[in-house]
Amino acid sequence: MATWAEAADVPVVNEETVRVELGARSYDVVVGVDVLDTLGSRLVALGFQGRCGLVTSDRVGALYRRRVERSLALAGFTPIVVEIPDGEEHKSLATLERVLDALLRAGIERRTPLVALGGGVIGDLTGFAAATLLRGIPVVQVPTTLLAQVDAAIGGKTAVDHAIGKNLVGAFHQPSLVLADVGVLGTLPRRELVAGLAEVVKYGVIGDATLFASLEADPATALTVDPFAFVPMVAACARQKAAVVAADEREERGDRAILNFGHTVGHALETVTGYGRFLHGEAVAIGMVAAARVSEAIGVCDATTVTRVRGLLGRLGLPVDLPVDVPADALGTAMKADKKSVAGQIQFVTVERVGRAKLVSLAAQEIVDRL
């Protein structure tokens, strides 16, 4: 069976670096195999020394904490380690307070880098902690899930969830470095790997028709965790994210909002179901199909596009239909609390065709009526 890289006709490499261009706050996204062991030396190269903070989850910590601590120790760092429970339900103000308390009691300083070792929950929460501690300390993202490597760790969005909605309490705080070791993806539970592929598909839909077509031609290759094949796939997504972030860092012009394809309905679904029923990527997959349907209903795309989006997600093993036990009006209420709403209108990401997305201003009820 061909690897994804072979199917996409791109070279197989063991490391790629993508630059996020933000002037004085520019940084590298390093995607590679076994780059986790280089964390300490890379922090030294960035000018850090002495102490550092390390936030991880109990599950990720059991797998990679010792390896990371060894890399840090070899580079002369003494880490302050905080472990929190695993799961989206812990991306909360209560957990944030626990992290802040531990770091402050340990005497963290303004030039002490804070390392986020884990998936999107750890990255978002740790980034927000870094944004608020001492009015801002450096953060280094070390994402260990596919979803975080291709999306969440890049771009400086940090947040915790609130009962009213997902990611409603947060800040923009760019990392000093993103270090994505695709080798760790081999320890991901199958469900989490598949959920991460939803974000890969998203990048295909909104701006990379070649990536989408490669996955579509043989989706099984994306489910084979070949680290050297995953480097170019993750890097392709990182390049697209980096370009969008560089053009619209704080979602002020609208360019960056394109990255939210599938997320309006997906976030609403996560909120309504209490953040525990669906993984983020699963909710986004359902949201992407819903967004494609809305796009067709308002005349932005044709039925073939909807079929292709739904078909690829389904063949990757992702859910594609809204659960029958979730009321549409509950989804509408959750959408109204969406942080991207302006004067009651949602900047909804539609798809014109695979590889091209478009923002359309819609009320929550207009979306619900077309689901």
Active site residues per annotation:
135, 157, 199, 241, 251, 256, 260, 263, 267, 280
8 Å CB contact between 36 and 71: yes
171 DSSP β-pair partners? 158
**CA gap 288, 276 in Å, rounded:** 20
Length of the chain: 371
Beta-carbon contacts of 186 under 8 Å, excluding residues fewer than 6 positions away, are: 225, 227
8 Å CB contact between 175 and 156: yes
Radius of gyration of the chain (CA): 20
10 Å CB burial of residue 247 (0-12, 13-18, 19+) is exposed
10 Å CB burial of residue 104 (0-12, 13-18, 19+) is exposed
**CA gap 352, 193 in Å, rounded:** 28
**CA gap 26, 158 in Å, rounded:** 17
User: Which tokens go with 191?
Assistant: 């469900």
**CA gap 354, 291 in Å, rounded:** 13
8 Å CB contact between 358 and 352: yes
8 Å CB contact between 279 and 370: no
Strands 15-20 and 27-32: antiparallel
User: Which tokens go with 151?
Assistant: 């999306």
Beta-carbon contacts of 223 under 8 Å, excluding residues fewer than 6 positions away, are: 193, 194, 197, 316, 317
8 Å CB contact between 232 and 5: yes
